Structure 1
Amino acid sequence: MSRPSSRIDSVIHAVRSRISSRLDGPGSRLPSVRTQATTMGVSVSTVVEAYERLAAEGVIAARAGSGFYVTGPAAPLALAEMEPRLDRAVDPLWVSRQSLETPPGHLKPGCGWMPSDWLYHDGLRRGLRRMARADAAHLVDYAGPLGLPALRQTLQRRAATLGIEASMEQLLLAESGTHAVDLICRFLLKPGDCVLVDDPSYFNYHAMLKAHQVQAIGVPYTHTGPDLEVFASALQEHAPRLYITNAGLHNPTGAVLSATTAHRLLGLAERSELIIIEDDIFADFELRPAPRLAALDGLSRVIHVGSFSKAISAASRCGYIAARPDWIEALTDLKLATSFGGGHLAAHLMQIALTDSGYRRHMQAVRTRLADARKHTLRQVQKLGITPWLQPEAGLFLWCQLPDGRDASAVARLCLREGVVVAPGNAFSQSQKAADYVRFNVSQCQDPKIWQVLGKALATNAPRSHA
């Protein structure tokens, strides 16, 4: 959909956007011409002309004495058109696509994964050789409904080291961590529900919740977890169904949930009947385990999810869900309905990789390598006058504020022209209050060109003098 070039086009664009996002479906009554004019700050005649043009195209129809109504079947769901329409430089789908689609040679300090040579490729190669010699059933058959028992047993033992007690029947394998969260959203949410997310938070949560046609409410994230005062107010005002957050290392800030905040958060959740999704994708990057809500809650109101795409392989996708037994039963049926048997081959490969004698040493080396990369990145950002919000002790990310209120979206566009993908802050912010923030992935920040291009972009985007 093209950008509006006139006030009439702006009204047409607003109506089309609501239809594309399914906020207005077939038979929905549009606001009256006077209401629309007041809402958009245009004249009544402008709205009348816009509605007439849409009616001429058959998008809407007039009913005498009643108003204008949406016609035809439901529009295909177009996430990029859902209101409010964000600038594509801060749209989470834009960030994802630029990170995945850029040609070879582009640098990606804004992407969410490590370089390929940092991942566990040696272990995967050993696993593939073992798989090639394995029984043919492992290569070609469907998996059981819950997924590979051996991998679930490994996950059970790993969960126990974090204080999470889960039986084998409380563990369900999914296609990925994203698939796990999506299954839970399908299970628990209906269009129009409210969901709390950290502000800032992983940008794909925003895109996924948009696809589920629910309202996301941002809660400011502090150095020790969500702002509990704002969290409590949001519970009272919005009665949310879910809260989605990271376990351990927070994306994008690198902050760690404190034990005090965790206990108080669970108290608020219990009193409001809130369900929590705890995404533990960065577990193996921690130097020491942070409190897990699932451990403190006993998998009562907390659903624990994770995957291995950040540490082992993004090419062989495998995720998991740990939850109370009755929810796992329902989620298993939903998994069968949407993906049937699951990735049996990927599950076998993950089981081999996780139990391989080299994996522990590999992750120890990765954590050391990340520490060095973090120090290097901190030196580079500070040379450019960029301020880290926090200096995390582990993980991939630095959440940083650009100098003098510079617009991260504009900086990202300038950098992209020079082959550098930057992740601007508002892609992570539900409230859109992170316009001067950027997330850096320290593992992707080693090339000197990044800092040359970023320095040039900052100079180009320098604020005008008030003199």
Structure 2
Amino acid sequence: MATNMHDTRTGQVMHVIRDRIERRTLTPGARLPSVRAMAETIGFSKSTVVEAYDRLAADGTIRSRPGSGFYVASPLAPLALDRLGSAVEREVDPLWMLRQSLANQSSSEGGKRLMPGCGWLPDDWLAGDAIRKGLRAAARGTRDGALTGYASPQGSLPLRALLARRLAAQGIDAAPDQILLTDSSTHALDLVCRFLLEPGDTVLVDDPCYFNFLALLRAHRVKVVGVPMTPTGPDVAAFAAALAEHRPRFYLTNSAVHNPTGATLAAATAHKLLKLAEAHDLVVVEDDIFADFEHIVAPRLAAFDGLDRVIRIGSFSKSLSAAVRCGHIVARPDWIEALADLRIATSMSGNPLSADLLHGVLTDGSYRRHIETVRARLSRAMARTAKRLRAVGIEPWIEPDAGIFLWAQLPDGMDAVALARAALAQNIVLAPGNVFSTSGGWSDYVRFNVSMCDDEALFAFLGEACRHAIRQRSRSPLTEQVVRHVIDEHPDLRRNVAARRP
């Protein structure tokens, strides 16, 4: 019987190298670890590594440079984003989280899903009536081409002028010609990545950070380095060390209302970060999508910097409606001109109907009333959710001043991935901490969306799981089988879960 190549030590080394190439950890022209270094890393003999490298060179995957070492030679295979995580953890990688959250929110059995792991407000919290009113007004509009034509290269001037006035309230001085409208904040970030990055560049992010940052940056084939997050912003010493070691192209962050932690950037931290950015010629990309959830305006890097080396992106998809696809980029005029050209090259122009609709909703008074109501509801939900999580043994990292997220630690011995798997079996989508981390850390943390945490079945599930883990007093990770055993052994929990099914 033939031996599977992966079953041999030589085959295992070859698999490791190919896997790194497929994941873009090693790109064409990159130097492989030396034979000695690879042998020490994987614990095999140098002769095994030599044989593996020889075979990879023979099939054209790598090539040898006498006296220099081995280098990646093969062209990259098409990028498969599902390789963000290993196959065994595929169901809890960032793209899994997005698929679960963006699905029809119903299980295959027809049961309504609870969505405490998603990143947006419930439908009945959003401004549906204002959108309907705005659509009627936009349909009556007489502006030439508003319903049938392309937008101008930078997008609607009335909306850009309005955004400039709103930015001034955050201390950001930007003229309308420093604003480019996009299809969404994700589209805005993708354009910025296309503008600034080449494959193989390095980008700094917070650890933890919004999980789709990791997926999008991987799609641009760059190296992502995490900087530990603190309640007042990134760890400044770690940030400085990462700049010196990795020479990143830019730093990507949420500063005002951080996703997933809810932390707020302190002014002192902001000044230190910008001094370091200037010293290392670093661009900062500030995603400010949760800005309107703030009660009091927090420090902004874009405000302190004056848009010299900071690019600000945002949208209203979280606060108004995800269906109105209209984001924006705020930056230096010369950068905006180049970004507008790039937008034309990749997607022609924006959506003038969405821009007119958004402008109407923002100027008729309905949005102001809506967001005031949302802030008050979020404050109540934040306090209520924190109290209920503590009651079952889950401790918030901080209690945020604003926003929709609580970043919370599970009791000792519990693993967030196992809990998320078991929760999904009960039609509950949780957001385990590891999907937000470049290092795979925060494995005992979960991000909770407080606007989605008002169902008794959620806390019944969490309470039983936590009580069982505490009773066990075991250092071994909580397994999916244990959680299901807890559910099977507690009829009240089964009834709570069943009660929310149609």
Between the aligned partners of 1:254 and 1:25, the Cα distance in structure 2 is 35
Between the aligned partners of 1:24 and 1:247, the Cα distance in structure 2 is 31
Contact map agreement 1:420 1:453 (CA 8 A) in 2: no
| Superposition pairs of residues 323-334 of structure 1, within 5 angstroms | 323-334=331-342
Q: 2:401 aligns with which of 393, 396, 403?
A: 393
1:63/1:299 Cα in 2 relative to 1: closer, same or farther (>3 Å)?
A: closer
1:348/1:53 Cα in 2 relative to 1: closer, same or farther (>3 Å)?
A: farther
Contact map agreement 2:233 2:255 (CA 8 A) in 1: no
Alignment deviations for residues 380-415 of structure 1 (CA, whole Å, 9 cap, x no partner):
101111111101122101010111141111111111
What secondary structure sits across from 1:139 in the alignment? coil
How far 1:68 moved relative to its partner?
Answer: 9.0
Contact map agreement 2:413 2:473 (CA 8 A) in 1: no
What secondary structure sits across from 1:204 in the alignment? helix
Q: Does 1:384 align with 2:411?
A: no
What residue in structure 2 maps to residue 40 of structure 1?
42
The one-letter code sitting in structure 2 at the alignment partner of 1:148 is S
Q: 1:285 aligns with which of 277, 293, 296?
A: 293
Cα RMSD over matched residues?
3.0
1:466/1:309 Cα in 2 relative to 1: closer, same or farther (>3 Å)?
A: closer
Instruction: Name whichever of 143-152 and 428-437 sits farther off.
Output: 428-437
The one-letter code sitting in structure 1 at the alignment partner of 2:95 is L
Between the aligned partners of 1:132 and 1:101, the Cα distance in structure 2 is 30
Q: 1:155 aligns with which of 131, 151, 163?
A: 163
Contact map agreement 1:20 1:82 (CA 8 A) in 2: no
What residue in structure 2 maps to residue 428 of structure 1?
436
| Superposition pairs of residues 189-208 of structure 1, within 5 angstroms | 189-208=197-216
Contact map agreement 1:20 1:77 (CA 8 A) in 2: yes
Between the aligned partners of 1:360 and 1:454, the Cα distance in structure 2 is 36
Q: Does 1:115 align with 2:117?
A: no
What secondary structure sits across from 2:312 in the alignment? strand
Contact map agreement 2:413 2:474 (CA 8 A) in 1: no
1:11/1:218 Cα in 2 relative to 1: closer, same or farther (>3 Å)?
A: same
Q: Does 1:274 align with 2:274?
A: no
What residue in structure 2 maps to residue 368 of structure 1?
376
Contact map agreement 2:63 2:72 (CA 8 A) in 1: no
What residue in structure 2 maps to residue 79 of structure 1?
81
How far 1:233 moved relative to its partner?
Answer: 1.8
Contact map agreement 2:25 2:223 (CA 8 A) in 1: no
For normalisation by structure 2, the TM-score amounts to 0.84
What residue in structure 2 maps to residue 311 of structure 1?
319
Q: Does 1:349 align with 2:357?
A: yes
What secondary structure sits across from 2:147 in the alignment? helix
Alignment deviations for residues 12-39 of structure 1 (CA, whole Å, 9 cap, x no partner):
5434423433445678787788765543
Q: 2:95 aligns with which of 90, 93, 96?
A: 93
* Identity percentage of aligned residues: 55
Instruction: Name whichever of 420-429 and 188-197 sits farther off.
Output: 188-197
What residue in structure 2 maps to residue 183 of structure 1?
191
What secondary structure sits across from 1:404 in the alignment? coil
How far 1:431 moved relative to its partner?
Answer: 2.4
What secondary structure sits across from 1:17 in the alignment? helix
Q: 1:221 aligns with which of 226, 229, 233?
A: 229
What secondary structure sits across from 1:300 in the alignment? coil
Q: 2:135 aligns with which of 120, 128, 131?
A: 128
What residue in structure 2 maps to residue 138 of structure 1?
146
Between the aligned partners of 1:304 and 1:360, the Cα distance in structure 2 is 22
Q: 2:182 aligns with which of 174, 177, 191?
A: 174
What residue in structure 2 maps to residue 252 of structure 1?
260
Between the aligned partners of 2:179 and 2:115, the Cα distance in structure 1 is 34
Q: 2:411 aligns with which of 403, 413, 417?
A: 403
Between the aligned partners of 2:208 and 2:162, the Cα distance in structure 1 is 32
What secondary structure sits across from 1:117 in the alignment? helix
Alignment deviations for residues 110-152 of structure 1 (CA, whole Å, 9 cap, x no partner):
1110111111111111111122233472122111100111110
Alignment deviations for residues 288-323 of structure 1 (CA, whole Å, 9 cap, x no partner):
100111111111111111011101111221110111
1:137/1:76 Cα in 2 relative to 1: closer, same or farther (>3 Å)?
A: same
Between the aligned partners of 1:29 and 1:53, the Cα distance in structure 2 is 17
Residue correspondences, number = 463
Contact map agreement 1:281 1:306 (CA 8 A) in 2: yes
1:25/1:147 Cα in 2 relative to 1: closer, same or farther (>3 Å)?
A: same
- For structure 1, list consecutive stretches of 5 or more residues without a partner in the other structure: none
Instruction: Name whichever of 435-444 and 13-22 sits farther off.
Output: 13-22
What residue in structure 1 maps to residue 23 of structure 2?
21
What secondary structure sits across from 1:403 in the alignment? coil
Contact map agreement 1:60 1:68 (CA 8 A) in 2: no
Between the aligned partners of 1:466 and 1:84, the Cα distance in structure 2 is 24
Q: Does 1:451 align with 2:459?
A: yes
Instruction: Name whichever of 6-15 and 401-410 sits farther off.
Output: 6-15
- For structure 2, list consecutive stretches of 5 or more residues without a partner in the other structure: 107-111, 477-502
The one-letter code sitting in structure 2 at the alignment partner of 1:114 is L
How far 1:450 moved relative to its partner?
Answer: 0.9
